[in-house]
A and B are shown apart, each in its own frame.
Chain A
Amino acid sequence: MNGLAGNFAETALRYPNQVALESKAEGKLTYRELDLRVCEFSDVLEGYGVTAGDRVALVLPKSQFKVVVILSVIRLGAAYVPLDVAAPFSRNKFVIAEAKPKLILAAPGLLGTLDGVWDEEPIIPDEGEEFVALIAADDAARDELPGLAYILFTSGSTGKPKGVAISEAAALAFVSWASAEFNLRPTDSVASVVPFHFDLSIFDLHATLTSGARLVLISEAATKNPRLLAGELAELGASFLYTTPTSLRLLVSHGKCETHNLTGLRQVLYAGEAYPVADLVRLMETLPEAEIANLYGPTETNVVTFHRLRGVPEPGQQKNIPIGRACPYARLLLWDDGPVNQVPDAEGELLVAGDSLAVGYLDPEATSRAFISYNDERFYHTGDLVWVDDQENLIFLGRKDRMVKRRGYRIEPAEIEAALQLHPAVSRAAITTGTAKDGGVKLVAHYEVTSGEPAPTKLDLMAYCREHLPLYMVPDGFRQEVELPRTSSQKTDYATLQAAVDEE
């Protein structure tokens, strides 16, 4: 047994009595205990017919059991597909139809969210189990071996989420590097704050549990309430934290960190969006003991560049913290209608090749658009524009397309527009962006009302969006327009619309 599962099993043999998992609600589990549960649950999965190359969808809250399931799925050479249990029904229905899993494991309390998604009768195991199982009749997807480790879904410009398929080898390239680069040791406790359907969790789960360190599962309540988060980080003795700038900024501004002892936090990693320099300075003042590093990479490539912060940046002097330089397994290419030399002051779209690249999307057409062959190597078009500074660090400039990042999540505005246009009273919708009061991205929906329909109230539209989109995609503002501006080719004229918003 090689790869993530093999490395976990070896780690469990090496550190049997170390604590592998801990949470406030469920207490502690040692490596030996966790390994035993993984072996047992692998047998359960085999009993349901899961073998290498299958996919297993998880509709489970974050818990020790969910970690057991993930390790068991990987152990069998199958891929786990973690669903956002808080996402609207229609989105999860789509995700399951795309992923075509062999088996769905759902928490009994969440079975209702799958009504109509799955026709088969659920298998209810013995009383007291934390799951019910649903088995695909016959049209489950099978991947060529060696198969995938996991599939994560990101926002898509066609209005539908895209499934990103990651091999075990690709995951391992990142995990092995990150453990070594940040010197993750058996004495460390890694706080798991982000949900398992978010790609930052790959570090939490797999780097931690192949290093002999302790994975601390932060409670759901604390991930939404920075005061509880500060308390749990201190109480559970977290030494590592990898999350988004949004989450860190809230921790600093609203967590009352001065009332807790957070001196044990020795390494803070952030990714997912830019960290405003002034806020980063406040983070360093709040956690003076912590080393801080910025990691960069879309889900399709995992982390491919990193930048360690040395010293406190001066607000105003530096526009953006660099995303840094390439990880050893990544090859970067700047592109502007052709390759651009990566020298100081060069600018272009960032293309990435190397061992951490995804196999592709579940949709082969989307794969052929975003992954290209150049010099016999497979490169992914990130769509991110970067600039090279005089230290040869890369600086993120912005997006080539309309995608925005909000609270660390990628958002294709087209996905929000598509959802709004399904409202019977909305004939057309267009999203513009701005800066929210807290410094994050603000989304404004502009819409035309279908003739003959009564105009919906903003509260109606907000409620409608909350029913059909994940929370981070729900617009902050709604504006009715008599007519949305159009280009000469009758497409929505975003430039004009955005300029009008920017002027206000």
Chain B
Amino acid sequence: MTNIKEDVKAYIIEEFAYEADVGPLTDSTPLLSSGIIDSISALQLVEFLENKYSFSFQAHEVDQDNLDNLALIEAFVMSKVSAK
């Protein structure tokens, strides 16, 4: 659980063929609003997170506010997991 950002980063690089010359993928690199991840890939990411950390997104939580960068994703996953 300590390495959510690293896990998600590895997943994005592997799954969405994130190319290094786009620029470094930092905690604050915008993912959805930049187009690095399109809306369809975002749904895949949601399912990855659900399976990996054993929680469920509410339909309305599938949103840019929770998914737009690694820091937001980590914060969201932490809040969901600790609320369980």
Contacts and interface: CB of A to CB of B under 8 A. Distances in A.
Interface in A461-488: 462-463, 465-466, 474, 476
Given A224-B39, A250-B40, A457 B62 contact: no
A457 B22 contact: yes
B7 interface: no
Residue with the greatest number of chain A CB neighbours at <10 A, chosen from B19, B59, B62: B59
B22 A231 contact: no
Nearest to B58: A227
A221 B34 contact: no
A438 interface: yes
Contacts of A463: 34-35
Interface in B36-79: 36, 38-40, 43, 46-47, 57, 59-60, 62-63
Contacts of A221: 60
A459 B22 contact: yes
Contacts of B47: 254
A253 B21 CA distance: 31
Contacts of B36: 459, 462
A226 B43 contact: yes
Interface size class of B (residues with CB under 8 A): 10 to 19
Contacts of B19: 458
A228 B60 contact: yes
Given A225-B59, A459-B22, A254 B43 contact: yes
Contacts of B46: 254
A466 B21 contact: no
Nearest to A256: B59
A438 B60 CA distance: 23
A462 B34 contact: yes
Contacts of A228: 59-60, 62
A457 B36 CA distance: 13
A463 B36 CA distance: 10
Interface of A: 221, 224-228, 231, 250, 253-254, 438, 440, 457-459, 462-463, 465-466, 474, 476
Contacts of B34: 459, 462-463
Given A224-B39, A254-B43, A474-B35, A459 B62 contact: no
Residue with the greatest number of chain B CB neighbours at <10 A, chosen from A253, A254, A463: A254
Contacts of A466: 35
A227 B40 contact: no
A303 to B, nearest CB: 26
Contact of A459 (B23, B39, B57, B60): B23
Contacts of A462: 34-36
A367 B21 CA distance: 44
A224 B62 CA distance: 10
Interface string B1-35: 00000000000000000010111000000000011
Residue with the greatest number of chain A CB neighbours at <10 A, chosen from B35, B39, B46, B60: B35
Contacts of B57: 227
Nearest to B56: A256
A227 B59 contact: yes
